[in-house]
Structure 1
Amino acid sequence: MRIIAGAHKGARLSSPSGANTRPTADRVKESLFSMLDGYGVLQAANVLDLFAGSGGLGFEAMSRGAAQVDFVDSSLASLRTLQANADKLGLDHSAKVHAGDVLHFLAGLPGPDDPEARTFDLVFMDPPYPLGEDAVTQILGRLAAHLDMESIVIVERAARSPEPAMPDGLEVFRSKTFGETAVHFVQLVGEG
């Protein structure tokens, strides 16, 4: 697995051992980031990479101009790999690796009324395909409090899975299928 474009183009990333991670294929990543470039969301972005695995999506975003990425994963192998990749790329100052369950991480973030509240410009959510649709919806519901009207959430699922059910306040505004992978672009529901 490698970084496709940007400041770290061509850099090889390590992958966690075992069969529990599913890195995003290069052709999917290339198309996805082409679309994100078109939306102008990458430059100086505050990014959240949930179920990060090796961090391929988050590190690609950093290579293309994102300011900071928070990586969240519960697998010890993934956490070690994330830190090793950040160190290898010299991005450990702007890549924060968080150990734990995604829902617990989101529950621990300061709420919107807290002066410490954080808003993410771009969120990658590539949960294991066996994760149920109810869990995906619950995560999106928790995530909504940490988005603004310009934020984009990318949900990657198996092409055979249904489109994720959206909690109140969120909508899918674009979907694209690449072979066995479906990518859904999610945002807050616009007013008016």
Structure 2
Amino acid sequence: MRIISGTYKGRRITAPKKLPIRPTTDMAKESLFNILNNQYYFDAISVLDLFSGSGNISYEFASRGTTNITSVDANFGCIKFINETAEAFNMPIQTIKSDVFKYLEKTTTPHTIIFADPPYDFSVEEFSKIPELIFQNNLLEEEGLLIVEHSKHTDLSHLTNYSHSKGYGGNMFSFFALPVNEETV
């Protein structure tokens, strides 16, 4: 995997083969960040990277100037790799080794962007728990986005606060947002 843009543009990061990961492809990641680049100032947001795996998404945010990044993964090897990589590049990434669902039940910190890349073989019920917990616990800032990466064979359009999806090869990103309050518009 490589960092697409920012301070560390072009840097390649190679995760150990033994990690249970499926990094977001460079093409899909570049397309996603082109969308986000038009909506956010990266140095002014906070990011929560769930099922962070290799840390691929966290590194991209850090390279683009985000200084408030939290990566959550249940695998000790993944957390260790993210810590080592973040330290080597002097990136401001805080890691938390935890089951994502338990973390979402306990945390109270809202974020601007929450990115979730759970295993593609999750059931729709497992996928649905992610936005359910995030919106139930008010973990998304008012102008924020929840982005869930999944296979093109999974449909999340029926879930609460679903906005839209974008597909890139076999990857899909489903976007979720708080409803716009018409009184404040």
Q: Is TM-score (shorter-chain normalized) higher than 0.5?
A: yes
> Is 1:155 matched up with 2:148?
yes
> Is 1:134 matched up with 2:132?
no
Q: Is the CA contact 2:45–2:68 (under 8 Å) kept in the aligned structure 1?
A: yes
Measure the CA separation in 2 of the matches of 1:78 and 1:5.
23
Compute the RMSD of aligned alpha carbons. Answer: 1.5
Shift of 1:147: 1.1
Match of 2:172 among 182, 188, 192: 182
Q: Is the CA contact 1:47–1:121 (under 8 Å) kept in the aligned structure 2?
A: yes
For the residue of structure 1 that corresponds to 2:38, the secondary structure is: helix
Aligned to 1:115: none
> Is 1:64 matched up with 2:64?
yes
Give the unaligned 5+ runs of structure 1.
111-117
Supply the AA of the counterpart residue of 2:111. Answer: F
Aligned to 2:110: 119
Measure the CA separation in 2 of the matches of 1:62 and 1:107.
26
Measure the CA separation in 1 of the matches of 2:50 and 2:157.
16
Shift of 1:72: 0.4
Q: Is the CA contact 2:67–2:93 (under 8 Å) kept in the aligned structure 1?
A: no
Aligned to 2:103: 105
Shift of 1:24: 0.6
Provide runs of 4+ in structure 1 moved above 6 Å.
Answer: none
Change (3 A) 1:135 1:41: farther
Shift of 1:19: 6.4
Measure the CA separation in 1 of the matches of 2:169 and 2:11.
26
Give the unaligned 5+ runs of structure 2.
none
Q: Deviations over 1:138-184 (max 9, x none)?
A: 121111211122101111100111125423xx222x31111111111
Shift of 1:16: 4.2
Moved more, 44-53 or 7-16: 7-16
Shift of 1:89: 0.9
Measure the CA separation in 1 of the matches of 2:157 and 2:41.
22
Supply the AA of the counterpart residue of 1:151. Answer: G
Q: Percent identity?
A: 30
